């Protein structure tokens, strides 16, 4: 099975961006963690980042029929993008929403997520380990439907 892991705007700045909130790991470190867990679970990992809403929408559309699940940290688009929600709904794949920070401990505008309406589950506040947990969850969901 192949998993699309999508990262939205500003996540390319991880490591230097507000380290007190997001930690000192870079996005390359997060990718390496995902690749290691993917290898352990025998999942193919397609790990991407974009600062452009439309590019994220296109990548989500392309996952239809080609990927088994989507892990998505949509960054700030989480709180604004009906277009990403619509794309996630259209592809009919299990979606797991991930956030490094605990969005519920932060500003009220981060408490609402459009992505959540299309997600099977949400993991937030556990830093990069959340991606590892999300991969384990995706693996379980995929294997359960395969049976
Ligand atoms: C984030 C939380 C969002 O509110 C924020 O805009 C981000 C990162 C996180 O991973 O904690 O860019 O998705």
Check pocket membership of 12 for ligand 1, CB cut-off 6 A. Answer: no
Q: What is the CATH number of the domain that holds 140?
A: 3.40.50.9100
User: Which token pair is 110?
Assistant: 């981060």
Sheet arrangement for strand 2-7: 44-49, 2-7, 69-73, 95-99, 121-124
pLDDT at 30: 98
> Across the strands, what pairs with 72?
6, 97
Confidence of residue 145 (pLDDT cuts 50, 70, 90): confident
Residue 146 confidence (pLDDT) above 90: no
pLDDT at 10: 97
Residue 36 confidence (pLDDT) above 70: yes
Rounded to an integer, the average pLDDT of 20-48 is 97
Q: What is the DSSP letter of 10?
A: T
Rounded to an integer, the average pLDDT of 37-55 is 98
| Domains: count for the chain | 1
Q: Report the residue among 26, 50, 74, 78 best suited for mutation to probe ligand 1: largest number of ligand atoms under 8 A from its CB.
A: 78
pLDDT at 142: 96
pLDDT at 147: 52
Q: How many CA atoms lie within 13 A of 69 on its CB side?
A: 27
Rounded to an integer, the average pLDDT of 133-143 is 97
- Tens digit of each residue's pLDDT (9 = 90 or more) over 114-131: 999 999 999 999 999 999
Q: Which residue has the tokens 């590892």?
A: 132
When the pLDDT of each residue in the chain is averaged and rounded to a whole number, the result is: 97
Is pTM, for the whole model, over 0.95? yes
52 is catalytic: no
22 is catalytic: yes
Q: Is 29 labelled a binding residue?
A: no
Check pocket membership of 75 for ligand 1, CB cut-off 6 A. Answer: yes
Distances in whole angstroms, Cα of residue 66 to Cα of each of 48, 60, 78, 145: 15, 10, 24, 16
Q: Report the residue among 71, 77, 84, 103 best suited for mutation to probe ligand 1: largest number of ligand atoms under 8 A from its CB.
A: 103
Q: What domain range is 120 assigned to?
A: 2-146
Q: Whose CA is nearest to atom 7 of ligand 1?
A: 75
Q: Whose CA is nearest to atom 8 of ligand 1?
A: 75
């Amino acid at each position: 099975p192949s998993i699309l892991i999508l990262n939205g705007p500003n996540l390319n700045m991880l490591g230097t961006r507000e380290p007190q909130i997001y930690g000192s790991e870079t996005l390359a470190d997060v990718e390496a963690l995902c690749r290691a867990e993917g290898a352990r679970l025998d999942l193919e990992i397609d790990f991407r980042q974009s600062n452009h809403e439309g590019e994220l929408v296109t990548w989500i559309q392309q996952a239809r029929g080609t990927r088994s699940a989507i892990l998505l940290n949509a960054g700030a688009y989480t709180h604004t993008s009906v277009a990403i929600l619509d794309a996630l709904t259209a592809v009919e794949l299990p979606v797991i929403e991930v956030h490094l920070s605990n969005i519920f401990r932060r500003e009220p505008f981060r408490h609402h997520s459009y992505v959540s309406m299309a997600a099977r589950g949400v993991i937030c506040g556990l830093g990069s380990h959340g991606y590892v947990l999300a991969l384990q969850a995706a693996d379980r969901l995929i294997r359960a439907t395969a049976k």
